[in-house]
Structure 1
Amino acid sequence: DFLAGHSIGEVTAAYVSGMLSLSDACVLVAARGRLMQALPAGGVMAAVGASEADVREVIDAAGAGADVAAVNGPASVVVSGAADEVAVVVGACRERGWRVKELAVSHAFHSRLMDPMLEEFASVVAGLDWRVPRVPIVSNVTGAVAEPLELVDPEYWVRHVRQPVRFADGVATLRAQGVDTFLEVGPDATLTAMVAEIVADAGVRRVPVSRRDQSEFAAVTSALGQLWVAGVPVDWAAYHGQTGVRPGVVDLPTYAFD
């Protein structure tokens, strides 16, 4: 009933929700990636096992020119910026005994190092044909349910590049709306694990549709099975139409473990 994403996933939601045609959605995604990758290399990102408030306190105390790029959980924050600036923050975090993991990235996304691309990106976004979305979207810029007109404002997508990804707030908002099933459409189960840290309710289902260590067919079939068992409607006719498998009655083993 709601769409939410983690950075580029929210761009994809622009098409799924009906805000953009497929061609315009491709223009948006391509421009975003092209302009980011054209920026000078040298930026870094690091995940820190601490709260946003604590990490911001360290950044301020160090006087570092680094930015909070993402808030992925109650104690999971990503710091982004120039290598020397982030190194100062990372050192201070390690002195406090916090878990720190340097991320393998090409650029310092969601940091001030993105600023040189914003003007050109704004001109691209302004030229797209925006429409009011058909499905409510939880914004990862604000962490709240977005107003429809907010999302069709080109300036929103410029802020989307620059400001932190408020994934933890978005998940909390979805739960407050009564959402109890989280389906991750992505290359692995990374966000599924993050949701588990944010929402600990026993009745909440977290299902990824893809895993790095499984074939796509097996992962998607497993995900649909988990959703079906949990009571989520699944269009099995459409599924079997894609796989070429004819639905029907099959003989089961007489012994459950055969």
Structure 2
Amino acid sequence: MSGQGCRTRRLAVSHAFHSARMEPMLEEFRRVVEGLSFAAPEIPVVSNATGELVDAEVVCSPTYWVEHVRSAVRFADGVRALAEYGVSTYLELGPDGTLSAMGRECLDEGQAAFVPALRREGDETRALVTALATCHTRGVHVDWATAMGGTRTGSVDLPTYAFQREHYWLVGEHRGVGDVASAGLAGVEHPLL
């Protein structure tokens, strides 16, 4: 699908977030959000309310979050904005891979990877570690000691290319050919051995 437009689909949700149906709860939500403390994000954030990079002052404002509940979601714009900033690996932190599937539809076919951290079915730990490993193989830095909760005892060197390996047979020109005794075996009267 072209990155110019995404398909739409009806979502099965308990509340009509990002619609006029949320207006009756906005003032109560504002009171709750105003009681929270905010901290500036440590990484840049693209807002689903604007589809653009947003500064820390804005996302630390209760007004932003109240308006976010009522505003339309600009998911496709956000994904395309991230791609323009050079993002090519997207880690979805959610209960399943719904946004990862939708994200793929928002960009032209290319090198982007959408990686869900969890799946509806299956082992959560395996799914998360698999997602982190996928990100790692795409060049994303993963702090493995933190990710593994300090249980890691060390790293293992992997081959630098697919067929690097150690030989466990005799090497060299004609070394041991025809002489099974050199391998600790008794000779047999067979033409192949």
- The answer to which structure has the higher helix fraction is 1
2:145 paired residue among 237, 247, 251: 237
1:124 maps to 32
Q: Which residue type is aligned with residue 86 of structure 2?
A: G
- 5+ residue gaps, structure 2, are 158-164, 166-193
Alignment length, in residue pairs? 157
CA gap of 1:111–1:148, structure 2 versus 1, over 3 A, is same
| Distance of 1:216 and 1:130 partners within structure 2 | 29
2:181 maps to none
2:98 maps to 190
Q: How does 1:1-258 map to 2 (within 5 A)?
A: 74-77=5-8, 101=10, 103-241=11-149, 244=151, 246-249=153-156
CA gap of 1:245–1:202, structure 2 versus 1, over 3 A, is same
Aligned 8 A contact 2:92 2:115 in 1: yes
Deviation at 1:158, TM superposition (A): 1.1
- 5+ residue gaps, structure 1, are 1-72, 79-100
TM-score by length of 2: 0.70
| Distance of 1:123 and 1:223 partners within structure 2 | 37
RMSD (Å), alpha carbons:
2.6
Aligned 8 A contact 2:89 2:114 in 1: yes
Larger radius of gyration: 2
| Distance of 1:151 and 1:236 partners within structure 2 | 29
Percent of matched pairs sharing the same residue? 46
1:160-184 CA distance string (max 9 Å, x none): 1111111111111111111111011
Deviation at 1:228, TM superposition (A): 2.0
Q: Which residue type is aligned with residue 165 of structure 1?
A: V
Aligned 8 A contact 2:89 2:138 in 1: no
Point out 4+ residue stretches in structure 1 off by more than 4 angstroms: none
| Distance of 1:146 and 1:181 partners within structure 2 | 20
